[in-house]
Structure 1
Amino acid sequence: MLRFFIIFCVLLIGLFTLEILQPVEKHVILPFTSAIADLSVWIVGLFDDGVIASGNVIRDQASGFGVRIERGCNGVEAVIILAAAVFAFPAPLRSKLIGLAIGFLAIQALNLVRIISLFYLGQWNYTAFEWFHLYLWQALIILDALVVWLIWLRTLPRPAMRGAREAADAA
């Protein structure tokens, strides 16, 4: 358990440090965030054609209301937490890569729901938007990373107990 905790903390510090480096932000985070905005607008466009994206901003053309997807709102931090937990846990590399890939998709899917719901909530009631944005959705995204990790743990093959294996071999 101590080994897991130390590796988890080292990975968290390393990945969060990497995320805030200017070249990483410029070449990875900002384009990724813009892609999230574009994907959000594409999804919204299936039922509301008056929404546009410009960089990391989603805007309603009729009302002028918009939301900016900033650092902390693109799901990257939750993915970093998940990645640190997955790679700190002793498991086969293949299982780790599959868990991270599925976890990334699960976190980003929920984050798209978050972005779109906040976009419409903000047009309806800005006070509710602030509360949901700052409190509810922040917690739910991190909780999503935890739930994905716990589900991933349950899919891992259980190590056979040495005594049980020796008894079975002797019989």
Structure 2
Amino acid sequence: MALKRFFLLFCLIQALLFVLELTAPAQRWVVLPFTEGLAQASIWLIQWFDSDVVANGIHLYHLPSRFAMSIEAGCNGIEASIILLAAILAFPAAWRHKFWGLLIGLGSLHGVNLVRIISLFYLGQWNLRYFEWAHLYGWQALIMLDVLVVFLLWLRYLRGLQAPGQGIEP
């Protein structure tokens, strides 16, 4: 019964958040500013090693090579965040544990996504064929694997808190 409840709640939360994400106000006030901030954060990190890069909105440019890429929906980490958020919120645990799971989990997820964006930025300058494969297959799988690993580590943490004979319920 608990597994069925978790699964239904997980699906419901995801559906609500994905629908909300697609609304015009969410796109204008949350998704676009977040994605632009992600582009700025990527450029800020890249500029530590390469001063020939700039960002404009969601676009990243390497001036000498004239390579450019944009961070689009599905590449900004929001969808992966929704999946992790839904999984943690749907699981029966104390709210303080959910809070820390989300804080650390979303932080690690977006850290990995920054590595993804920067690696794709340089891979695209080197070889477009490898860039396309890494973008469409390699990194998509790794980001979803990151969501799964974060959730499983959080479950393991919860299990460690559990006294013998007690459940995880708050």
TM-score, normalised by the number of residues in structure 2: 0.93
Q: Could you tell me which of 39, 42, 46 is aligned with 1:40?
A: 42
Partner of 2:100: 98
Q: Tell me the secondary structure at the aligned position of residue 66 of structure 1.
A: strand
Q: Secondary structure at the match of 2:69?
A: strand
- 1:54 Cα shift? 0.3
Give the aligned partner of residue 88 of structure 2.
86
Instruction: State which of 135, 146, 152 in structure 2 corresponds to 1:144.
Output: 146
Following the alignment from structure 1 to structure 2, what is the Cα–Cα distance between the partners of residues 22 and 97? 28
String of CA shifts for 1:77-134, please: whole Å, max 9, x gaps: 1110000000000000010011011111101000000000000000100000000000
Q: Structure 1, residues 131-153: CA drift from partner, whole Å, max 9, x if none?
A: 00000000110110110010011
**Can you give the 5+ residue segments of structure 2 that lack an aligned partner in the other structure?**
none
Q: Give the letter aligned to residue 73 of structure 1.
A: C
- Matched residues in 2 for 1:144 and 1:82: separation? 10
> Which protein shows a greater Rg?
1
In 2, the alpha carbon distance for the partners of 1:104 and 1:118 equals: 21
Give distance in 1, aligned partners of 2:162 and 2:145.
25
Give the deviation of 1:159 after TM superposition.
Answer: 5.4
Amino acid at match of 1:62: P
Distance in 1 (CA, whole Å) between partners of 2:163 and 2:93 is: 10
Percent identity between the aligned chains? 52
Name the amino acid aligned to 1:34: E
Q: Which runs of 5+ in 1 are unaligned?
A: 163-171
Instruction: Note if 1:158 corresponds to 2:147.
Output: no
How many Å apart are 1:160 and its aligned residue?
4.0
Runs of 4 or more, structure 1, over 3 Å off, are none
State the secondary structure of the residue aligned to 2:49: coil
Per-residue deviation, 1:42: 0.4
Q: For residues 39 and 9 of structure 2, what CA distance do their matches in structure 1 show? A: 33
How far has the Cα of 1:158 moved from its partner?
1.8
Q: Does 1:110 align with 2:109?
A: no
Instruction: In structure 1, give the amino acid aligned to 2:162.
Output: R
CA RMSD of aligned residues (A): 0.9
- Alignment-derived partner of residue 137 in structure 2: 135
1:6 counterpart residue number: 8
How far did 1:40 drift?
Answer: 0.2
The AA in structure 1 aligned to 2:139 is W
Matched residue count: 162
